[in-house]
Amino acid sequence: MPISGFPEWLPAQRIIEQRVIDRIRSTFELYGFAPLETRSVEPLETLLSKGETSKEVYLLHRLQAEADAKDDDQLGLHFDLTVPFARFVVENAGKLQFPFRRYQIQKVWRGERPQEGRYREFLQADIDVVNRDSLPFHYDTEMPLVIGDALGGLPIPRARILVNNRKVCEGFYRGLGLTDTDQVLRTVDKLDKIGPEKVAALLVETAGATDAQAAACLELAAISAEDGSFVDAVRKLGVSDPLLDEGLDELVRVVETAREHAPGLVAADLKIARGLDYYTGTVYETQLRGYERFGSVCSGGRYDNLASSGKERFPGVGISIGVSRMLGVLFGKQALTVSRSVPTCVLVALPHEDQRAACDRIAGALRRRGIPTEVAPAAAKFGKQIQYADRRGIPYVWFPGEPDTVKDIRSGEQVDADVTAWQPPDADLHPSVSGEPQ
């Protein structure tokens, strides 16, 4: 019986997922990020201290745990990969070279209400850079470029990365005279879900804003641009604060760097806030063109205070691709297809059961040359063996004989073949993934 929010992809979908992961991993490594995998559980107090997640954390305990057991009844499954990564950095700081660049591709768990593209168990692919004491800002400008390369090499709709800076928002709210800037941020973050009228009412109700202050917050949130022109739009609102100035300078650097290296990839959007409390500067959200209503498929930001040990601080910046979220949305719209649902490129036909050993030797020779091969399950008529290959999308059937022959069952072309030399076209060697053009 299916359990809502815990996806199990069919083999064809799993092949697509693996191709996506391969592309993401290879791109991360091209940029020099090293692989890491952290444990799935963290102390509950660690998880509950990092944002509005208390209702979403899954607890872990033994069925037969003793009532007074202290060892494992306060563990929770991690809800993202940044919090465990920060803990890992603190614990292993003496063994790491800084700045430390790492990627993680792992499952995470959140007790959210399942819906299209939102799951309770899902795969994330993260990159982060952390450093001791201070982290140069140029790493904030690098993050979108890595994601643009990773997603740009996939047959999916074009990605658009929306960026903001918490300092812009907090400085603006301070300049308005609002003191509970965290509450204002959390409320503005709900804009897409509840709309501007309800956000304005909530600002008055929960953040102590006047109607005029609430209106100004909404005006700020309405500003967006693909170049530095957003700065003039903010200045026209007539609010000043040193933190606002700092945030605008940083945000311009992110937008203009991306504009130079990947035009059209990044846009400033001043309503982006991100719900997690640990972000302190740049924040990112990513939409797929044509799928904007499904929200962000890749997000992250700068955190200066997430990881610390005594007097030592490890500021960082990171961004995470929601692999399951992105694929779930695309699978739901049949926007991705794969050329076959099995890795097999060649089926070795079996003339008689007593020839299985010889057919296994043919398959072994092809496999040694990197050609995915299987032997027919039974010595049925060749027509049935071809049907078996066709149903599974296997493009070639190998017929043992004097000489051996191989048949492309799509075109019907059949040629003599030498097991030590025959090679399928590169396009047929592995399943290929394609998507709808957007």
The reply, when asked if residue 284 is annotated as ligand binding, is: no
The reply, when asked if residue 279 is annotated as ligand binding, is: yes
Say if strands 316-322 and 312-313 run parallel, antiparallel, or are unpaired: unpaired
Q: Which residue's entry shows tokens 């799935």?
A: 40
The reply, when asked if residue 174 is annotated as ligand binding, is: no
CB contact burial 317-349 (16+ within 10 A = b; e otherwise): bbbbbbbbbbbbbbbeeebbebebbbebbbbbb
User: Tokens in use for 61?
Assistant: 């305990």
User: Tokens in use for 72?
Assistant: 């494992």
Helix, coil or strand: residue 119: coil
Helix, coil or strand: residue 123: strand
Spatial neighbors of 146 by CB under 8 A, at least 6 apart, are 27, 28, 31, 33, 127, 319
Cβ distance 267 to 159 under 8 Å? no
Between CA 323 and CA 117 the distance in angstroms is 10
The reply, when asked if residue 80 is annotated as ligand binding, is: yes
Long-range contacts for 80-83 (Cβ within 8 Å, ≥24 apart)? 80/108, 80/124, 80/276, 80/320, 81/38, 81/106, 81/108, 81/124, 81/126, 81/320, 82/126, 82/128, 82/278, 82/300, 82/303, 82/306, 82/318, 82/320, 83/42, 83/46, 83/47, 83/50, 83/278, 83/306
The reply, when asked if residue 423 is annotated as ligand binding, is: no
The reply, when asked if residue 113 is annotated as ligand binding, is: no
Determine how many CB atoms are found less than 10 A away from the CB of residue 3: 10
Spatial neighbors of 73 by CB under 8 A, at least 6 apart, are 59, 61, 65
The reply, when asked if residue 110 is annotated as ligand binding, is: yes
The reply, when asked if residue 124 is annotated as ligand binding, is: yes
Cβ distance 272 to 283 under 8 Å? yes
From the annotation, which residues make up the binding site?
A: 80-82, 110, 124, 128, 274, 278-279
From the annotation, which residues make up the binding site for L-histidine?
A: 80-82, 110, 124, 128, 274, 278-279
